[in-house]
């Protein structure tokens, strides 16, 4: 049980961190840079927020399968594959939200920042920092999507006991065994964890606001 | 700001370390098998015995038979352990598998609402039972997923000369457990392997209404994925597992697995 919870958190939190490392800068570039085809990229990243988890899982499965282009990595049916699939699910949320938040901030403050001599590129860290509360909400939305989904991790992880079984795939398994009581109990545990994590994030936000004004 | 950035950086590197933690590197094979073996708890009973004897960890991915064979075809499993004889022989004939070994059998049963609207309790044989469901148009839930159970069900319909369709025929496209959960709600008749049924908790109004016809026997076979097609296959360890499961020790482990005091799988190596 602790192992299942630990794996769920490890996979989802890692995916969230990777998605942030990639998504925050990409979202910022999308918000501030002007290039041909930008509109199309914006629409695409918004649309991908609706990517069905099982499709994301299937794409990663076909890539990582031994008969696929990345088969030699032997990642299929491992936690690594699950992290990749969930990163794919969270990334569009982080990119889209970062773009939206930074666009608004830039519109509001760009004259001020320019007068201080900041170029668009130099303004990015400042804007990210100013938008941190809104961005945190986006990151939590990404965490929620990843921790709740079962379609992707089931396909690429294989729900192997003691190895790639997460909270959500365990809930699916118990449902299939007709163990509805246990399935609901696991669901409550998952919900409690999500609640605690969100409370911690909210508390940290309040604390930072109080301390930094 | 520098201070804060350092905190974030430390957090990110901690997470990266966390993610990179090795997952107990050791000898393991991947076995693609069916939901019936996993859901019934058979693997939970026999695999610890095998792992203690050999030190080889067996990671089971449980899928429908059709999907499990596809996993083997793609080279994503070292061994397939399934129950649809015709499909297994095709798998070997196409060169994806080395050789098929008989392992065990269990049987299918027809479960349905206790009041038995189609009168299956009086059916002479399995084909007559299926015909009775079709002629009374009593609700029937089908796996509809190319699993071994679905293949067996379609063979029964074919023998009964019935092309199942219409509002009484519900193709769930799901695993055995999900299909049983659906059948409980309708309620509908459903063909299930005895193992999944016995370990299934949420039975509602359903009970066994027909069983015992020899055509309902459900043999399981085990096949090593061909290392000539997929050189990375762990042929040696996979063969150790196959040798063990058809050995006296493996067969005894299968026979000693019971649910509620009832034996679910019957060793079948003599059939080889």
Q: State how far the Cα of B57 lies from the Cα of B122, in Å rounded to an integer.
A: 47
Number of CB pairs, chain A paired with chain B, less than 8 A apart? 81
Q: Is the Cβ pair A176, B175 closer than 8 Å?
A: yes
Phi first, then psi: what are they for A21, rounded to 5°? -60, -40
Determine the distance from the C-alpha atom of residue B61 to the mean position of all C-alpha atoms in its chain, rounded to a whole number: 10
Q: State how far the Cα of B242 lies from the Cα of A5, in Å rounded to an integer.
A: 33
Q: State how far the Cα of B91 lies from the Cα of B93, in Å rounded to an integer.
A: 6
Residues B111-119 have a mean pLDDT of 96
Tell me whether residue A133 is in a domain: yes
Q: What is the pLDDT of residue B3?
A: 56
Tell me whether residue B5 is in a domain: no
Instruction: Report the domain count for chain B.
Output: 2
Tell me whether residue B20 is in a domain: no
Tell me whether residue B16 is in a domain: no
Q: How confident is the model at residue B22 (pLDDT cuts 50, 70, 90)?
A: very low
Residues above pLDDT 70, as percent of chain A: 99
Domain boundaries, position B203: 107-216
Asked whether residue B259 falls in the same domain as residue B170, the answer is: no
Q: What is the pLDDT of residue B9?
A: 55
Supply the CATH number for residue A88's domain: 1.10.3720.10
Give A68→chain B minimum CA distance, Å: 8
Question: In terms of CA atoms, which chain A residue is nearest residue B31?
Answer: A160
Asked whether residue B237 falls in the same domain as residue B258, the answer is: yes
Supply the CATH number for residue B131's domain: 3.40.190.10
Residues A181-187 have a mean pLDDT of 94
Residues B19-25 have a mean pLDDT of 46
Residues B210-216 have a mean pLDDT of 95
Residues above pLDDT 70, as percent of chain B: 89
- This prediction has a pTM of 0.85
C-beta separation of A167 from B191 below 8 A: no
Instruction: Report the domain count for chain A.
Output: 1
Q: What is the pLDDT of residue A177?
A: 87
Residue B4 has pLDDT above 80, yes or no: no
Asked whether residue B207 falls in the same domain as residue B119, the answer is: yes
Asked whether residue B140 falls in the same domain as residue B202, the answer is: yes
Which of B7, B170, B43 shows the shortest CA–CA distance to A161? B43
* Chain A residue numbers touching B18 (CB-CB < 8 A): 10, 13-14
Q: How confident is the model at residue B21 (pLDDT cuts 50, 70, 90)?
A: very low
Average confidence score pLDDT of chain B: 90
Give A62→chain B minimum CA distance, Å: 10
Give B195→chain A minimum CA distance, Å: 11
Tell me whether residue A212 is in a domain: no
Query: Please, which residues 53-112 of chain A have a Cβ atom closer than 8 Å to chain B?
Result: 65-68, 71-72, 74, 76-79, 83
Give residue ranges of B with CB < 8 Å to any A CB.
1, 4, 12, 15-16, 18-19, 23, 30, 35, 38-39, 43-44, 59-62, 73-76, 175-178, 180-181, 199-203, 230, 232
Helices B248-255, B42-54: axis angle to 10 degrees equals 150
C-beta separation of B240 from B56 below 8 A: yes
Asked whether residue B92 falls in the same domain as residue B131, the answer is: no
C-beta separation of A62 from A116 below 8 A: no
Domain boundaries, position A17: 2-165
Q: Is the Cβ pair B202, A178 closer than 8 Å?
A: yes
pLDDT tens for each residue of A163-176: 999 999 999 999 98
- Of B170, B191, B216, the residue at which a domain comes to its end is B216
Q: State how far the Cα of A129 lies from the Cα of A165, in Å rounded to an integer.
A: 37
C-beta separation of A81 from A157 below 8 A: yes
Q: What is the pLDDT of residue B12?
A: 53
In this predicted model, which residue has the larger pLDDT, A134 or B123?
A: B123
Asked whether residue B112 falls in the same domain as residue B210, the answer is: yes
Asked whether residue B98 falls in the same domain as residue B114, the answer is: no
In this predicted model, which residue has the larger pLDDT, A140 or A112?
A: A140
Q: What stretches of chain B adopt beta strand conformation (E)? A: 28-34, 57-63, 79-82, 97-113, 140-142, 169-171, 189-193, 206-210, 217-225, 258-259, 262-263, 266-267
Question: In terms of CA atoms, which chain A residue is nearest residue B37?
Answer: A177
């Amino acid at each position: 049980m602790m192992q299942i919870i630990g794996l769920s958190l490890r996979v989802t939190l890692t995916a969230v961190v990777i998605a942030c490392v990639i998504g925050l800068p990409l979202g910022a570039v999308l918000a501030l840079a002007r290039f041909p085809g930008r509109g199309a990229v914006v629409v695409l990243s918004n649309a991908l927020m609706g990517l069905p988890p099982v499709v994301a899982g299937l794409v990663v499965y076909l890539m990582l399968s031994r008969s696929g282009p990345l088969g030699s990595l032997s990642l299929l049916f491992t936690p690594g594959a699950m992290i990749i699939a969930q990163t794919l699910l969270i990334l569009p949320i982080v990119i889209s939200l970062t773009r939206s938040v930074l666009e608004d901030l830039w519109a509001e403050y760009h004259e001020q920042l320019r007068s201080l001599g900041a170029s668009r590129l130099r303004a990015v860290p400042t804007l990210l920092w100013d938008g941190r509360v809104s961005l945190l909400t986006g990151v939590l939305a990404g965490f929620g999507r990843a921790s709740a989904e079962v379609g992707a991790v089931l396909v690429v992880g294989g729900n192997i006991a003691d190895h790639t079984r997460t909270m959500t795939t365990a809930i699916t398994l118990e449902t299939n065994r007709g163990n509805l009581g246990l399935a609901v109990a696991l669901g409550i545990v998952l919900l409690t964890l999500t609640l605690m994590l969100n409370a911690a994030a909210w508390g940290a936000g309040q604390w930072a606001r109080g301390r930094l004004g | 700001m520098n201070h804060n950035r350092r905190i974030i950086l430390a957090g990110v590197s901690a997470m990266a370390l966390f993610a990179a933690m090795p997952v107990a590197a050791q000898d393991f094979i991947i076995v693609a098998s069916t939901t019936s073996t996993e859901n019934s708890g058979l693997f939970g009973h026999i695999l610890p015995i095998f792992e203690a004897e050999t030190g080889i960890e067996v990671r089971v991915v449980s899928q429908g038979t059709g999907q499990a064979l596809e996993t083997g075809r793609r080279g994503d499993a070292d061994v397939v352990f399934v129950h649809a004889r015709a499909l297994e022989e095709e798998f070997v004939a196409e060169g994806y598998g080395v050789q098929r070994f008989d392992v065990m059998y269990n049987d299918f049963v027809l479960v349905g609402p206790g009041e038995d609207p189609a009168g299956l309790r009086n059916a002479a044989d399995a084909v007559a039972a299926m015909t009775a469901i079709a002629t009374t148009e009593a609700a029937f839930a089908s796996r509809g997923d190319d699993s071994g159970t679905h293949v067996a069900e379609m063979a029964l319909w074919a023998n009964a000369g019935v092309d199942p369709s219409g509002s009484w025929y519900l193709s769930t496209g799901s695993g055995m457990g999900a299909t049983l959960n659906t059948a409980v709600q309708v309620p509908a008749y459903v063909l299930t392997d005895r193992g999944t049924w016995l370990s299934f908790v949420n039975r509602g109004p359903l009970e066994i209404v027909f069983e015992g016809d020899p055509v309902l026997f459900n043999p399981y076979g085990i096949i090593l994925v061909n290392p000539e097609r997929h050189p990375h296959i762990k042929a040696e360890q996979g063969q150790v597992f196959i040798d063990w499961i058809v050995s006296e020790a493996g067969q005894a482990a299968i026979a000693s697995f019971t649910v509620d005091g009832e034996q679910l799988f019957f060793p079948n190596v003599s059939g080889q």
